Chain A
Amino acid sequence: MHNPFSLKDKNLIITGASSGIGRQTAIAASQMGARIILIGRSETALQQTAEQCITETRVLSLDITNYEEVSVAVPSCIAEFGKIDGVVHAAGISTTLPLKNITAEKMQPFFETNVFAAIHLSKIVCSVGNYNKSSSSIIFISSVMGVVGELGKTIYSLTKGAVIAGSKSLALELASKNVRVNAISPGVVVTPMSQNAVYTQNQEAFEKTKSLHPLGLGEPTDIANACVFLLSDASKWITGINLIVDGGYTAK
Chain B
Amino acid sequence: MEDFLQLITEVLEIEDRTITAEDHFKQFDEWDSLARLSLIASIDDQYNVIIDDQTFTKLETLQQLYDEIQGRI
Contacts and interface: CB of A to CB of B under 8 A. Distances in A.
Interface of A: 96-98, 100-101, 151-152, 198, 201-202, 205
A201 B53 CA distance: 6
B54 A152 contact: no
Given A151-B33, A152-B34, A201 B54 contact: yes
A152 B33 CA distance: 10
Contacts of B42: 100-101
Interface in B21-57: 33-34, 37-38, 40-42, 45, 52-54, 57
Contacts of B37: 96-98, 151-152, 198
Contacts of B33: 151
Contacts of A151: 33-34, 37
A152 B42 CA distance: 13
B59 interface: no
Given A151-B37, A152-B34, A198-B37, A100 B11 contact: yes
Question: For the side of the interface on B, what is the size category?
Answer: 10 to 19
Interface of B: 11, 33-34, 37-38, 40-42, 45, 52-54, 57
A202 B53 contact: yes
A151 B40 CA distance: 14
A201 B40 CA distance: 13
A242 B52 CA distance: 34
A101 B11 CA distance: 9
Q: Which 6 A-B pairs have the closest CB atoms?
A: A201-B53, A101-B41, A98-B38, A152-B37, A202-B53, A98-B37
Contact of B38 (A100, A202, A205): A100
Contacts of B40: 198
A101 B45 contact: yes
A198 to B, nearest CB: 7
B29 to A, nearest CB: 18
A198 B54 CA distance: 11
